[in-house]
């Protein structure tokens, strides 16, 4: 999961403020008001969840408590997800594959890493966002819309190099005789 230092701090705050209470079979996590435009109601294997749409993480995540409600098998071994800061990592419990449905779209066989005490029921990251040509967040701000194009791939320059083969010495063979 690749996130900025600010997002790491937000994740810490979110984890600290995690609330897990039942409301119409839905488990809710506390989300700061600044993230509300990126949170959508949806279904994960027909179970109602809140999804945080986040461009920071490179993959998708589901909270462990939600995973338990899905009654699906967990695959893979526990792992660790590194943050943008190499000093910070989060343990995972494995991987789960489920059907994600929202905004009249269905995404079967969506892969999620399972994490305990996630700041939202589900987080979809770049793995999910890259399926779309555009993803638009309506922020209702006073300025005109802002489009951030993807970075152009960097070109690698490879210069032809003439390297002499390494010199091998077999002098040790004489010692063995």
177 pLDDT more than 80 = no
What is the count of structural domains for the chain? 1
pTM reported for the whole predicted model:
0.67
| Structure tokens, 176 | 């063995």
Over range 145-159, report the average pLDDT.
71
- Is 46 a domain residue? yes
Higher local confidence (pLDDT), 97 or 161: 97
- Is 141 a domain residue? no
pLDDT, residue 134, reads: 87
pLDDT range class, residue 163, cuts 50, 70, 90: low
Identify the CATH number of the domain in which residue 101 sits: 2.40.70.10
Give how far Cα 26 sits from Cα of 21, 51, 59, 144, Å.
8, 12, 23, 36
DSSP secondary structure string, 29-70? ----GGGGGGEEEEEETTEEEEEEE-SS-SS-EEEHHHHHHH
- Is 136 a domain residue? no
Structural domain containing residue 11? 5-29+37-129
Burial of 72 (C-beta count, 10 Å sphere; 0-12/13-18/19+): middle
**For residue range 75-130, what is the model confidence (pLDDT) as tens digits?**
888 888 887 666 778 899 999 999 999 889 999 999 999 999 888 899 999 999 99
- Is 167 a domain residue? no
**For residue range 30-77, what is the model confidence (pLDDT) as tens digits?**
566 777 888 999 999 999 999 999 988 889 999 999 999 988 888 888
Indicate if the alpha-carbon torsion angle 56, 14, 72, 102 is positive or negative.
negative
pLDDT, residue 175, reads: 56
- Is 96 a domain residue? yes
131 pLDDT more than 50 = yes
């Amino acid at each position: 999961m690749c996130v900025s230092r600010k997002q790491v701090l937000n994740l810490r705050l979110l984890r600290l403020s995690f609330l897990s209470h039942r409301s119409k079979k839905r488990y809710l996590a506390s989300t700061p008001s600044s993230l509300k435009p990126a949170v959508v109601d949806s279904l994960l294997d027909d179970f109602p969840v809140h999804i945080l749409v986040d461009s920071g993480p490179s993959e998708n995540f589901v909270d462990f408590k939600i995973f338990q409600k899905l009654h699906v098998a967990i695959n893979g071994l526990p792992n660790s997800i590194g943050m943008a800061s190499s000093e910070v990592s989060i343990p995972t419990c494995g991987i789960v594959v489920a059907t994600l449905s929202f905004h009249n779209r269905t995404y079967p066989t969506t892969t999620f890493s399972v994490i305990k005490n996630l700041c939202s029921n589900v987080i979809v990251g770049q793995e999910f966002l890259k399926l779309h040509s555009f993803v638009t967040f309506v922020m209702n701000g006073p300025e005109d819309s802002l489009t951030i194009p993807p970075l152009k791939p960097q070109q690698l320059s490879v210069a032809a190099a003439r390297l002499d083969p390494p010199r091998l010495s077999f002098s040790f063979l004489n010692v063995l005789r």
